[in-house]
Amino acid sequence: MNRDSRAGRPAALLAPAALTWALALALSVPAPSLLSAAVGADSWEPVRRLMAESRKERRAAAKEIVELGDPARSLVPGMVDALFFTPRNQRRELLETLRELTGEDLESYRDWVELLGSREDLAPADGYLEWKVSLFERIDERYDAILYPGAPARIRLEEVVWGGVRIAGIPAVVDPRMVPASEAEWMLPDERVFGVELGGEARAYPVRILSWHEMLNDTVGGQPVALSYCTLCGSGILYSTATPGGEPYSLGTSGLLYRSNKLMFDSQTLTLWSNLTGEPVVGRLAGTRAALEMLPMTLTPWKEWVGRHPETTVIDLEWARKTYAAYGFAYRPGAADQARQGVSFPVWQRSDALDDDAEIYALRLGAAAKAWSLEPLLELGLLHDELGGVPLVLVAEESGAVRAYESGGRRFRRAGAGLVDGDGGEWRITEAGLVAEAEGETSVEVAALPRVPGHVAFWFGWFGFYPETEVWDG
């Protein structure tokens, strides 16, 4: 099948590839995606020759690029891409050309990536997508079915980078076998799970399993869902995968990143989706209004989840071991984190409002975004706040669980396992909302206050997407 035919229709479901944990550094650069008219698509050939084995050819290509003058700056993003794929002993001409064009004396690939983010004048030339795909195809030839010519994009293509694995190289968990909590002797009381309750059905997905797979497709309470866990930025988010056509999206790991955040792909259209926003960002659905609805989910210790939901089920550990035996995953708490220890990715924009790896509780309502520092929030236990003009109440447990609800302007205090409002009305804390136990003067009008879906994340990952975010630090 040629490239044009792939661009015209979705490819078939992509088969998983072998997992590799030899993660390479990836780009994370927010330069504008406006394309320079001064350098055309054919001008990427000198950059390709900068990667040649022959030093003579590399030197000739470097001279040709430098002689272009200022227009050659639009080749810099592609040259940084090339740096990643060029052996260290063949980088001299590439580095010298980068220094000549930018006026920066940098050596490491990581430094060049971060420079791109701060230099808005270094926008890529026309034909950049084709150039990038030609490099990615060295990793997995199937990338040209995702990043095809003319693919609509909501994000800057120069920031789409490789994260260290091939397409579906990390296998998603699909329709896992679940067992009752009473049969899950392997679960430790303090280990964290992603807790979900939909349509009267409660399920727990252990972090020890999702840390390896990073993606899960399941049906809970009759609703198709996907749990996307970006271990790099610490964000586990639950999305509805229902579609107007009836067949739900089946999401997997693309092996690509954007601002240190994983890009998912759906096997139906091969569109890339953002883990953090739930939006289609590159491909066939990126030009539409399609979006994944975020659903409530709670990151909490197993004992806390079972205490609230004794009827819950949990992934059968033995089923996971047998189903994914070929990958050699060690399903022990913390094992995946140990395997990734030391892996980091360049991030160009940072904020010292909080430590990079500080855990936050993050919410987004419309265009408004806010981050609550998790540690002081857990110590406080209950916080009244607002976001985008919507009054909120955040309920935090010592165990680490956080749930946010619309407050309707009410003021609450903790009372045992529930809340009490200013009129003495008692409210029960549920996964879907706050439910009035008894009618008071004000609780007659609203019998339930809806939950606002949020999630835990690392500060640097959240700030990379939402630099205008509000911050609460106690």
Residue 92's contacts (CB-CB under 8 Å, 6 or more residues apart) are 58
Mean pLDDT, the chain cut into blocks of 10 residues (474 residues total)? 32 32 30 35 85 97 94 95 94 97 91 84 90 94 94 89 92 98 97 97 98 98 97 95 92 94 96 96 95 97 97 98 97 92 75 95 96 97 97 96 97 95 95 82 61 97 94 95
Residues 275 and 178 placed together within one structural domain of the fold: yes
Whether residue 354 lies inside any domain: the answer is no
Fill in the amino acid letter for 254: S
Report yes or no: 435 and 447 within 8 Å, Cβ to Cβ. Answer: yes
Residues 327 and 387 placed together within one structural domain of the fold: no
Residues 135 and 30 placed together within one structural domain of the fold: yes
Whether residue 321 lies inside any domain: the answer is yes
Whether residue 21 lies inside any domain: the answer is no
pTM to 2 decimal places: 0.88
Look at residue 177 and give its three-state secondary structure. Answer: coil
Whether residue 69 lies inside any domain: the answer is yes
Look at residue 54 and give its three-state secondary structure. Answer: coil
Mean pLDDT of the chain: 88
Residues 386 and 464 placed together within one structural domain of the fold: yes
Could you give the number of structural domains in the chain? 3
Task: Count other C-beta atoms under 10 Å from residue 163's C-beta.
Answer: 24
Residues 334 and 449 placed together within one structural domain of the fold: no
Domain region containing 298: 173-339
Residues 390 and 261 placed together within one structural domain of the fold: no
Both tokens of 129, joined, read 């997508």
Residues 249 and 307 placed together within one structural domain of the fold: yes
Whether residue 157 lies inside any domain: the answer is no
Whether residue 73 lies inside any domain: the answer is yes
Whether residue 215 lies inside any domain: the answer is yes
pLDDT at 35: 30
Residues 239 and 270 placed together within one structural domain of the fold: yes
Residues 185 and 102 placed together within one structural domain of the fold: no
Residues 147 and 233 placed together within one structural domain of the fold: no
Report yes or no: 434 and 426 within 8 Å, Cβ to Cβ. Answer: no
* CA–CA separation, 162 and 23 (whole Å): 9
Residues 144 and 187 placed together within one structural domain of the fold: no
Whether residue 426 lies inside any domain: the answer is yes
Nearest to 78 by CA among 107, 18, 35, 141: 35
Residues 250 and 370 placed together within one structural domain of the fold: no
